[in-house]
Amino acid sequence: MPAAKRKPLVAVLDWKTAPASNSGVDLEAKVLGQNVRTKYYLIDTEADFTPEILGADALIVWQNTLITEHTLDRLKRCRALIRNGVGFDSVDIAAAAAREIPVCNVPDYGTEEVADHAIALTLALTRQLFPLNAEAKRPGWKLVAKDQLRRTSTLTFGVIGLGRIGTAAALRAKTLGFRVMFYDPHLPSGVHKAVGIERVDSLAKLLKQSDVVSIHCPLNDQTHYLIAEPELTHMKSTAYLVNTARGGIVKKRAVLAALKQGVIAGAGLDVIEDEPLKTKAEARTPNLIATCHAAFCSREGMIEMRTTSARIAKQAIQGKRLDNVVNGVS
């Protein structure tokens, strides 16, 4: 009898230590269909890649485990490596391109959620929600932080990176009454007219003029430590920093020191370099609001992200053109 035809394998990789999805691969399996094996694996490092994973026809990667040349060299038949999210800085995309392995991402699934989260952090800071909440729960409370409460129509909301999420955040801030400006050297002239906000031609100008600086650019060689000690000193002492993009864009030691020294008034960080916070001293940093890299999360967003990743994996299995390729391999 002839040997049974091998079914292609799509491996969905998640963290051992902090799984992003506890729902298995039912959704992915429905998209991929019965002619594809869809399996779920928990890994934390490249050392956890099993022979079965290395033999998969496509990888869907939840976590930020680094995927380097070491692993790429061992992939036997991978037709696509798909990051279940926007960022792909954990994958050596140049090395993947050299081995003709397409790397794809899901750039649009969390646009609304991340923009909403950036605005939520902004309002929590400008309206001092956490200090007021703490005071209100004390017997005999009194109004505190009155001088720190700000009227949005008097404030400037500065956006670094006017991509999908940056634009969504800018438009939300504009609706709330902020004066909105942005810095993005990669966009053509006239973009600011289309969205009705101001444009500045340098990061320094944006930092000096903004009351809230909201980061929405990708992490790469040019943006690593884009905000460090010199940039923080350019900000107003009454200004707030919000980061819902990537932790490595902001130098952790610099921003924590700036908060302790009163260089800036506060920070709302959903992402932190070398997250999570490592010590009690870091966690006690004054005027810091930190959330658990959760800006992208919503029930709807997770379904959209997983469906899109599975659809791209199916394109790879079927030999079709892939959506959202980030390393130029078709």
Is 135 designated active site? no
Same fold, 9-109+298-317 and 111-290: yes
Q: What is the pLDDT of residues 273-328, one digit of tens each?
A: 999 999 999 999 999 999 999 998 898 988 899 999 999 999 999 999 999 999 99
The active-site residue out of 275, 282, 304, 311 is 275
Domain range 111-290, CATH architecture: 3-Layer(aba) Sandwich (3.40)
* φ, ψ at 82 (rounded to 5°): -115, 120
Q: Is cis: bond before 286, omega within 30 of 0?
A: no
**Dist. CA 308–CA 11, nearest whole Å:** 15
Spell out the per-residue pLDDT of the chain, length 330, in tens: 555 688 999 999 987 766 666 556 789 999 999 999 999 998 888 899 999 999 999 999 986 678 999 999 999 999 999 998 888 888 999 999 999 999 999 988 889 999 999 999 999 999 999 999 998 898 888 887 777 899 999 999 999 999 999 999 999 999 999 999 999 999 999 999 999 999 999 999 999 999 999 999 999 999 999 999 999 999 999 999 999 999 999 999 999 999 999 999 999 999 999 999 999 999 999 999 999 999 988 989 888 999 999 999 999 999 999 999 999 998
The active-site residue out of 83, 150, 179, 293 is 293
The active-site residue out of 83, 172, 246, 306 is 246
* φ, ψ at 67 (rounded to 5°): -115, 105
**Dist. CA 116–CA 134, nearest whole Å:** 24
DSSP 154: G
Is 275 designated active site? yes
**Dist. CA 271–CA 17, nearest whole Å:** 18
How many Cα atoms within 13 Å fall on the side-chain side of residue 78?
29
Q: Do 203 and 226 touch, CB atoms closer than 8 A?
A: yes
Question: CATH code for 9-109+298-317?
Answer: 3.40.50.720
Is 293 designated active site? yes
Amino acid at 204: A
According to DSSP, the β-strands at 212-215 and 156-160 are parallel
Listed by start position, the domains of the chain span 9-109+298-317, 111-290
E strand or H helix that includes residue 179:
strand 179-183
